[in-house]
Amino acid sequence: MRANLFDEARHSEEALVRGLRTGDEGSLGVLYDRYATSVYSLVYKIVGDHTEAEDVVQDVFVQAWQRAARYDPSRGSLIAWLLVIARSRALDCLRARRARPDRYGVIDGASDQDGAWAEPFQYTAVLAAEQAVELQAALTALPLLQRLALEMAYYEGLTHAEIAGRLEQPLGTVKARIRLGIVKLRAAILGNPP
């Protein structure tokens, strides 16, 4: 049964990619409906700001729309491709923020906690939060050094060499820990043993 569902998902993903490549706006809508929650969850975890996260999510889907021809299914799933784009755009957002830190202060005493910001993603935010909890549980179950390496790479945007320097570990060891950690996370989230 599970293999049949996987085959159906793969088929619909292929049709979705074909639609994107031919400029079908309906395919872009389906792509957004299907994956916006996951993309938002990752981006928000990295940037920590709802407004910035929404902007980055929009950028991710625009980029996916414009560059659909670059997607190669042999290199990974469609969601994996989107999350790689999302991580990259979110890290760009952090770099831009560091370049102009004064822009992100409180303006006129308003803040998200004041209720000035109405969340347009209320339904999807709940789903994103559930996925974030699932991911955090899987991360917590990893051995400490694997978890630290993954968090430094994906949440802090550090290179493998920078992580090796911080952890005072050989570069090859860090790369192996990150790879093994990703394999374990994938297995935990999909429910398959590594």
Q: Would residue 112 count as lying in a domain?
A: no
Shared domain for 65 and 153, answered yes or no, is: no
> Are 98 and 50 contacting, i.e. CB atoms less than 8 angstroms apart?
no
Q: Would residue 34 count as lying in a domain?
A: yes
The DSSP call for residue 110 is B
Average of pLDDT values for 40-46? 88
Shared domain for 92 and 147, answered yes or no, is: no
188: containing domain? 142-194
Q: Would residue 165 count as lying in a domain?
A: yes
Q: Would residue 22 count as lying in a domain?
A: yes
Of 75 and 52, the structure prediction assigns the larger pLDDT to 52
Give the H or E element holding residue 136: helix 122-141
Is the per-residue pLDDT at 99 higher than 80? no
CATH number of residue 152's parent domain? 1.10.10.10
Shared domain for 89 and 15, answered yes or no, is: yes
The angle subtended at Cα 104 by Cα 54 and Cα 123, nearest 5°, is 25
> Are 164 and 171 contacting, i.e. CB atoms less than 8 angstroms apart?
yes
Tens-place pLDDT, residues 130-148: 666 777 778 888 888 888 8
Q: What b-and-e string marks burial along 154-163, b requiring 16 or more CB atoms within 10 Å of the CB?
A: bbebbebeeb
Shared domain for 90 and 24, answered yes or no, is: yes
> Are 56 and 43 contacting, i.e. CB atoms less than 8 angstroms apart?
yes
Shared domain for 73 and 14, answered yes or no, is: yes
Residues near 37 by Cβ (< 8 Å), separated by ≥ 6? 121, 124, 127, 128, 131
Query: Number of structural domains, the chain?
Result: 2
Q: State the pLDDT at residue 105.
A: 47
